[in-house]
Amino acid sequence: MYVRKYILLLGLMVISVKVSAESGEALWMRYLKLPSDLQSLYIPYAQVYFEEGSSTIEVAKQELAQAFVGLTGVDIKFQKKPFKCSLLIGKNVNQFWNIPDIEKNLKKCANEGFVIRSVKRNGVRRIIVTANTDAGILYGTFALIRLMQTGCPLDSLNIIERPKYKFRLLNHWDNLDGTVERGYAGRSIWWNRKETLDALKHQYLTYARANASIGINGTVLNNVNANPKVLDQEYIEKFARFADLLRPYNIKVFMSINFSSPVIIGGLPSSDPLREDVQQWWNQKVKEIYEAIPDFGGFLVKANSEGQPGPQDYGRSHADGANMLARALEPYGGIVMWRAFVYSPSGDDRAKQAYDEFVPLDGQFRDNVIIQVKNGPIDFQPREPFSPLFGAMEKTPLMIEFQITQEYLGFSDHLVYLAPLQKECLDSDTYVKNEGSTVAIVTNGTLFKHQYSAIAGVANIGRDINWTGHHFAQANWYAFGRLAWNHNLKPEDIAREWIKMTFTHDSVFVESVLDIMMRSREAVVNYMTPMGLHHLMGWDHHYGPAPWTDIEGARPDWLPRYYHNASEEGIGFNRSKSGSNAVSQYAEPLCSMFNNPKTCPQNLLLWFHHLPWDYRLSSGLTLWQELCYHYYRGVDEVKLMQKKWDRLRGRIDDERFEHVQHKLKVQVREAKWWRDACVLYFQTFSKMPIPYELERPEHDLDELMNLKFDMKNHN
C-alpha cells in the first residue's frame, strides 16, 4: 500500500515536471538533453575556468552550468586555475593563451559585444569567450549556450559580435491596475499582483534570462498611456525593486510618464514646460528616481496624442516638452524617448501627420532625446510602407518602434511570425543620402552619426503560463531581440534557432514549422489587408473585419472607410500627387515610384492609390479579380499551415501540439471570416462576380455585419 502510494506520488511528480517543462513556461531555455551525438561534441568542454566578477558574471556562470548539465547530462567542473580547462570565459582570459588577434577583435566589440574563439594548441582544443565588459561576457555566454542548443559544432568558432543598437527595449503597455493595453496573454506580470516579490522571483528571473539571452537591455515597465501615479514614491520603490532584479542581466528599467504629472500629482497650476516651477518639479522627481535607481534608463513619453496631455496644451512644441525632461535626466545619463505617434482629426491624411509635425523640429532636440517612431506611418498594420520620418530628420536620432503584441494581426490567436515584417521595414531603402540608406542604418545611428540609437518592441507578455498566449508568439519576442541585436540576421535563420530550442531538433519538424512560420506573415496580409489596404478592422476591438463601420460622431480617421474609400468608382487611398501627396514625404526615386500606379509595388498599391475596380494590373487581371485572389490565397495559406501542423503530431509533446492545433483551427475559421467579410462588402461596390474558380464564400454579409464581438474571450 505504502509502496503503491509512493509510486503514485512519483508518477505525479514526473507528470508535473513534464507539464511544467512543456507548458511553454521555460520559453526557449528548456535545456533538455540533446541527441547523443551532439552531447559528445560538447562534453569535452566541461572543464571550465570562469573568471570571478560581478553579479552579472555570476548569473552568466549559473546559466552556463544549468544549460550544460541540461543539454549534455554532465555537470560542469568549474576550476580555479585556467590551464587544464577547455572552456575559458572572462574579460582577461586571453592572457593565458595570448591568441594574437583577440585583443584586436575586442576593440571591435565596444561595450556589449564579445569574442568567441576556438583554438587548438598542442593537440588540445579550447574555447575562449571574452569581452570588454561583464555585459559582453553575459551575452557571449548566452551565445555559446545558443550554439549548443542549436547543435552547432564548437571546434572552429571565430565569432566577433557587437549589438547594432545601443538601447534594445521592450515596451510594456501595462497599466498599474494590472490590465495590459492590447495585451492578449493575461494580466500584467508587473502590476497589481497579489503574490510577494519572493514568490514571483522565479517568473521575473525567467523574464530577465530570456531577455538577456537575446540581448534586450532595457524595459519600459508601464503603459505609454501613463498613469501619473507611477511617479509616486510607492511606484518609484516598486520600479527600484524590479531594477534590482533585472540589473545583473544588464537590463535597465525605464518609465512612461504623463506630461501633466506636475498638475495631477504635484499640485502645480500648470505643466507648461517653460515654467520654472514645472522644471523644478521634474528635476526633483528625477532626483528621487535616481536616488532609488542609480542606473535608471529614462522616460518614454506619449504627448499630445490620442487625448494624452503634452506641451502643445500650453502652446509649446514637442521639442520644448522633450528638452525639459532631457535637461532633468542629463546629469544622470538618462534619456527621453519622445514618441512621434501623433495625429489629429483635422488633417487631410493621417499618414502624413507625424512627418509634418516633427520634421520642422529637426535640430531643436537636446542630445539625449530620441524620437520614437512606429515602423509605418499609420499604426502597426499587417503591411505598411516604412514611416517617411526615417531619414527625414538628420540632426535627431530616431528610434524604431515595432509591435510584438499582435493588436492588428489576430491577437494571440493567429500564428504570425513577425520577423519578416520587421526585416522588410529595416531593410527598406529610404534613399535619403544615397542608395543603401536603409531604415536600419538610419535608426542604428550610423548614417547620420548619432551617439544614441535605439529600437523598441511593444511586448506581448502576460501572466499566461506560456507568457505570450500562443506558443508561436514567443517566437516574436525572441526574433525581435535577435534583430535588435543584429538586423542583418535572416528571419529564417532566427526561426530555425528558435524552433530547435523551443521544440525539437527533429529535422522533419524543424523544416515543416519553418515553412509554416515563413508563410504566416504574407498569409495574414492576404486574408486581412492585401494590396496595400489597411485599417479594415473593428474600430474598437481591432480584431475582426468591419470595413463597413459607420459610427455617428466618431473620428473619421478611426473608421475603416476613411482608409479604403470603397465606392462604385473604386477603392484605395489616393496619396499620390493628385491626392494627399503623402508620396512627397519620401525621397526620390521612391516618391516617383510610389506616385505612379504602374511602378508602385503591388503590395502597396491601394495604400498610395485609389483605382477603379476594372483597373488592369500587370498580371492581366482586373483589380477586383486580383483582390479576390489575394483574399482567397490568404485562407488557402492558413489551411496549408494547418495541414502541415496536423502532420507533426507525435514529434513534440501533445500539450503544445494540441494547443497550437486548436489555435490554427480558430485561425482558419477567422481567415475565412476576414475574407468573406471583405470580399462580400467590397463586392457591393464593385458589383463584379467572384472569379468562378474560387470557392463560394461561407458566410452571408448581413450575418457578418451583425456579428457581436466579445473582447472577453480574447484576453
- Residues of the shown chain interacting with ligand BDP in the complex, contacts defined by CB under 6 A: 181-182, 224-225, 302, 341, 379-380, 407
Q: Which is nearer to ligand BDP, 408 or 629 (CB)?
A: 408
Catalytic residues: 306, 379, 407
Closest approach, Cβ 358 to ligand BDP, in A, equals: 15
CA distance 536 to 538: 7
Residue 57, SS3 per DSSP? helix
Shortest separation between residue 224's beta carbon and ligand BDP, angstroms = 5
Q: Which residue is nearest to ligand BDP (CB)?
A: 379
Query: Taking the complex as a whole, how short is the minimal distance between the CB of residue 73 and ligand BDP, in angstroms?
Result: 47
Indicate the residue among 379 and 636 with the shorter CB distance to ligand BDP.
Answer: 379
Enclosing H/E stretch for 129: strand 124-130
Residue type, 688: M
Beta bridge partners of 115: 130, 160
- Nearer of residues 269 and 345 to ligand BDP, judged by Cβ: 345
Could you write out the three-class secondary structure of 191-255? CCCCCCHHHHHHHHHHHHHHHHHHCCCEEECCCCCCCHHHHCHHHHHHHHHHHHHHHHHCCEEEE
User: For ligand BDP, which is the closer residue by CB, 138 or 224?
Assistant: 224
How many Cβ atoms are within 10 Å of 488's Cβ, its own excluded?
11
CB of 534 vs ligand BDP, minimal distance in Å? 12
How many residues make up the chain in this entry?
A: 715
Kindly state the smallest distance separating residue 192's Cβ from ligand BDP, in Å: 19
The smaller minimum CB distance to ligand BDP, of residues 259 and 341, is found at 341
When the beta carbons of 376 and 697 are compared against ligand BDP, the nearer one is: 376
DSSP symbol at 150 = T
* Residue 374 parent element (H or E): strand 369-374
> CB under 8 Å to 651, separation ≥6 — which residues?
504, 506, 508, 509, 657
Please, which residue, 318 or 609, has the CB nearer to ligand BDP?
318
Closest distance of CB 302 from ligand BDP, Å? 5
The CA distance from 517 to 419, in Å, is 10
The whole-angstrom separation of Cα 296 and Cα 252 is: 6
Please tell me the distance from the alpha carbon of residue 458 to that of residue 423, in angstroms, as a whole number: 16
| Residue number with CB closer to ligand BDP (286 or 378) | 378
Question: CB 583 → ligand BDP: shortest distance, Å?
Answer: 24
Other C-beta atoms closer than 10 Å to the C-beta of 5 total 9
Amino acid residing at 421: L
Q: Give the separation between CA 263 and CA 202, rounded to whole angstroms.
A: 38
Q: Work out the number of other CB atoms within 10 angstroms of the CB of residue 191.
A: 21
Q: Name the H helices within 490-604.
A: 491-502, 507-528, 560-564, 590-595
Quote the DSSP letter at residue 577: T
Closest approach, Cβ 306 to ligand BDP, in A, equals: 6
Partners of 664 in the β-ladder: none
